Amino acid sequence: MGYGNLIVSSSPHIRSEETVQRIMLDVIIALLPATAASIYFFGMRALAITITSIVAAVAAEAVIQKIRNKPVTINDGSAVITGLLLALTLSPAMPLWMVAVGAVVAIGIGKQVYGGLGCNPFNPALVGRAFLIVSFPVHMTTWLSPVDGVTSATPLGMIKMEGIKTGYMELFIGNVGGSLGETSALLLILGGLYLIYRGIIDWRIPVFYLGTVAAMTMVLGHDPLFHLLAGGLMLGAFFMATDMVTTPITPVGRIVFGIGAGVLVVIIRLYGGYPEGVLFSILLMNIFTPIIDKFIRPRLYGEVKAK
Amino acid sequence: MPMNLLTFRGGVHPPHNKHKTEHLALIKARVPGLVIIPLQQHIGATCEPVVKVGDGVKLGQKIGEPKGFVGAPVHSSVSGKVVAIEKRPYPGGGMVQSVIIESDGLDTLYENIKPVGKLENLTADHIKSIMREAGLVGMGGATFPTHVKFSPPPDKKIDTIILNGAECEPYLTSDHRLMVEKPEDVVNGIKAMMKAVNVDKGYIAIEENKPDAIKAVTQAANGEENIKVVTLKVKYPQGAEKQLIKVCTGREVPSGGLPMDIGVIVNNVGTAVALACAIDTGMPLVERIVTITGSGIKEPQNLIVRIGTPFADVIEQCGGLEEGIGKIIQGGPMMGIAQYTMEVPVIKGTSGILVLKEEDLELAPELPCIRCGKCVDACPIGLIPTKLDGFASKGMLQEAEEYNAVDCIECGSCSFVCPAKRMLVQRIRLIKADIMAERRKAKQA
């Protein structure tokens, strides 16, 4: 007949262009402005921390997958994101070996023990950061001023401990003490908008997360704009609370997640022992993701049963 | 009444790829030398052959009679001689008992075929018997016998007929060309259908990307107060029955129910034209429009093909195959069925023959789900495909049932959008079949 072996498989026979790799690449692209700003503000230390974190995360992923006798999937870009995100949550004063430990824990305990990509209940980068906070509390809370490079407190630390408020403009541009990536709200928002435009993240999570923080701080008599711009909230809202793997899968579930995380941030910031609450707000809401997904489902077409 | 650019929740936007054939006028395919007419081209009971090997048959002569009520007779699409009655590969899968007829090329018409008369003079029962005797089935691909659809139990009051001209499957243009070239038959067909169940509300729904079809049908329906032409937004699966009903009437088919439960009957525009033709000429369903297209076809076309013509014969009339073909599909790329041989015949439900090159089919390996939720957003029914995928992989029937696996319409939107290239609808189909089998077992026990 002149035709060779026909492929026979079940429909659909065409697929969209979208790939996991492309999604991960978009997230990396969205994080680049904030990463560049951290290098601009904090210099080569920031670059060294970023590279260390990414290399350690990717190496940990490859080694663990080799040990587990699984295909090595470092090309999917997810380990790069974990490394990059972790770096952006760290102080520029952090010793590099601690950075590497954090990245290895993020990938090892945050992701691979559960079976790798898609299986982890918690955001791996935040697991790494939580580990570092508990293990090296002093280093994790020693911050540098981007202006003169000397030790300084973060805006949230200053307002909590000393009652000094940093100006909005400095917060917005990022010329303040803090972790690498949390300083410039402007560039984080830009990156986040890019991800929303590309359809990678659901706008509902950042909008309801940030909205809840604004509304709740206002009701409790605090400055909402300061709380939105200070600390890691922008980084968390656009890049961590939106992590697909660890957040609800339905639109309504994501709204619940955003509101829950917002409430937790405000409680921790205003009444907790830590000046910053973004890390724990997201990790705690990660715990609730399975139960949110269990109870919040899309409306079924024709939900009324047939007579 | 909402009339403009209506659409539904969810869905996807696959590339249309209709440009190769959407402006090509219908051409009659040559009379095949041999036809293979399966005795079951519909959902329901297989037909008993009413001819024997060696018999002479004429064009339009009945050659198979269904054993039960749910079934449709089949007719000879050529005049000639029955050379065999045996199992042959069937485009819907498997082997089906088929009547093989060698054509004499004369197209001698069967004596009983003559015009039935004007629609005005026909009763509802008369129209239904024409539907049955003409062997009409749903020509969108589902091939449910039309006369059965039009015979609902007395407690189901039908008040609306919808004609489906959405043609949301990429590549296919057979319904499009039909509406452009035979708009009067489309309108006559829906009028006959409305009369068959005595309803006064008819909709003809067409996607926005066929402006010439919308124009032609609107003109043909001019003056028919009970018939509305509805323009739909271009989105897949806009032509899925449940989505179409929701868009036109605002009603939802209850989960586990049928359109007739909410007073609606949906038909493909091709079925309406076949009915109009059966009334006008008395000719049963012996030919249909087939779009032959795709990267693997040298000269894509919309052909009017006799039922029973082997795919190989049809493809040859379109310049043949390109080098390096990967799949030959009956129907469109989203829900069509991949064939393992070109010996299968065109049947009543063959809306297209799509040939794709191997390079179009390259599929990245399946990765773990990253829970991006794109399948949830795409599902027009409101399912969580990735969850069902998990249940199906582990054979968790009960959980899959609780998550409404059986409501899946198998449109494939979830698999289409999945960035991890997971076999979502494919596994849901499997677990759906398992659940239905369990239910049947429980019923019998």
The answer to which of A166-175, A259-268, B17-26, B411-420 has the lowest mean pLDDT is A166-175
What is the rounded distance in angstroms from the CA atom of residue A266 to the CA atom of residue A277? 7
Provide the CB-side half-sphere exposure for A105 (13 A, CA). Answer: 18
Helices (DSSP H) in B327-423: which residue ranges? 374-378, 385-394, 397-402, 413-417
**Domains defined along chain B, listed by start:** 119-281 (3.40.50.11540), 374-444 (no CATH)
B2: pLDDT strictly greater than 50: no
B416: pLDDT strictly greater than 70: yes
Residues of chain B contacting residue A244, judged by C-beta atoms under 8 Å apart: 370-373
Q: How confident is the model at residue B5 (pLDDT cuts 50, 70, 90)?
A: low
Question: Which pLDDT does position A306 carry in this prediction?
Answer: 47
Cross-strand bridge partners of residue B356: B327
pLDDT in tens, A128-185: 999 999 999 888 877 777 766 667 777 777 777 767 777 777 777 766 777 888 767 8
Question: Which pLDDT does position B118 carry in this prediction?
Answer: 86
Question: Which pLDDT does position A307 carry in this prediction?
Answer: 43
B386 touches chain A (CB under 8 A): yes
Q: How confident is the model at residue B1 (pLDDT cuts 50, 70, 90)?
A: very low
Question: Which pLDDT does position B350 carry in this prediction?
Answer: 95
Question: Which pLDDT does position A304 carry in this prediction?
Answer: 63
Q: How confident is the model at residue A20 (pLDDT cuts 50, 70, 90)?
A: very high
Cβ distance A24 to A78 under 8 Å? Answer: yes
B235: pLDDT strictly greater than 50: yes
What is the rounded distance in angstroms from the CA atom of residue B445 to the CA atom of residue B441? 6
What type of residue is A124?
P
Helices (DSSP H) in A109-250: which residue ranges? 124-135, 137-140, 155-157, 168-173, 185-197, 204-219, 224-229, 233-235
Strand order in the sheet with B227-232: B227-232, B202-207, B160-165, B264-268
Pick from A9, A180, A168, A64: nearest CA to B412: A9
Closest residue of chain B to A200, computed from CA coordinates? B372
| Tokens 């894509």 sit on residue | B300
Which residues 232-261 of A have a C-beta within 8 angstroms of B?
244-245, 247, 249-251
pLDDT in tens, A35-77: 998 898 888 999 999 999 999 999 999 999 999 999 999 999 9
Question: Which pLDDT does position B240 carry in this prediction?
Answer: 93
B252: pLDDT strictly greater than 90: yes
Question: Which pLDDT does position B28 carry in this prediction?
Answer: 96
Q: Are strands B74-75 and B202-207 parallel, antiparallel or unpaired?
A: unpaired
Distances (CA, A) of A199 to A22, A128, B116, B217, B377: 12, 27, 57, 37, 11
What is the rounded distance in angstroms from the CA atom of residue B249 to the CA atom of residue B373? 29
Mean pLDDT calculated for residue range A106-123:
95
Q: Does pTM surpass 0.80?
A: yes
pLDDT in tens, A244-293: 999 999 999 999 999 999 999 999 999 987 777 899 999 999 999 999 99
pLDDT in tens, B138-155: 998 788 999 999 999 989
What is the token pair recorded at A235?
């980084």
CA A213 to chain CA mean position, Å: 17
Q: Could you count the other beta carbons within 10 Å of the beta carbon of residue B111?
A: 9
Provide the CB-side half-sphere exposure for A173 (13 A, CA). Answer: 10
Distances (CA, A) of A269 to A136, A185, A263, B139, B228: 21, 18, 10, 64, 60
Q: Are strands B264-268 and B160-165 parallel, antiparallel or unpaired?
A: parallel
Residues of chain A contacting residue B425, judged by C-beta atoms under 8 Å apart: 10-12
What is the rounded distance in angstroms from the CA atom of residue B42 to the CA atom of residue B71? 7
B44: pLDDT strictly greater than 90: no
Q: How confident is the model at residue A89 (pLDDT cuts 50, 70, 90)?
A: very high
Provide CB contacts within 8 A for A62, sequence distance 6+: A72, A74
A17 touches chain B (CB under 8 A): no
Domain ranges of chain A: 20-293
A1: pLDDT strictly greater than 50: no
CATH of the domain spanning A20-293: 1.10.3430
Question: Which pLDDT does position A174 carry in this prediction?
Answer: 67
A2: pLDDT strictly greater than 60: no
Which residues 304-343 of B have a C-beta within 8 angstroms of A?
312, 321, 325-329, 333-342
Inspect the interface and report whether the beta carbons of A297 and B329 lie closer than 8 Å.
no
As to burial, measured by CB atoms within 10 angstroms (0-12 exposed, 13-18 middle, 19+ buried), residue B235 is buried
Mean pLDDT calculated for residue range A113-121:
93
Pick from B306, B339, B332: nearest CA to B74: B306
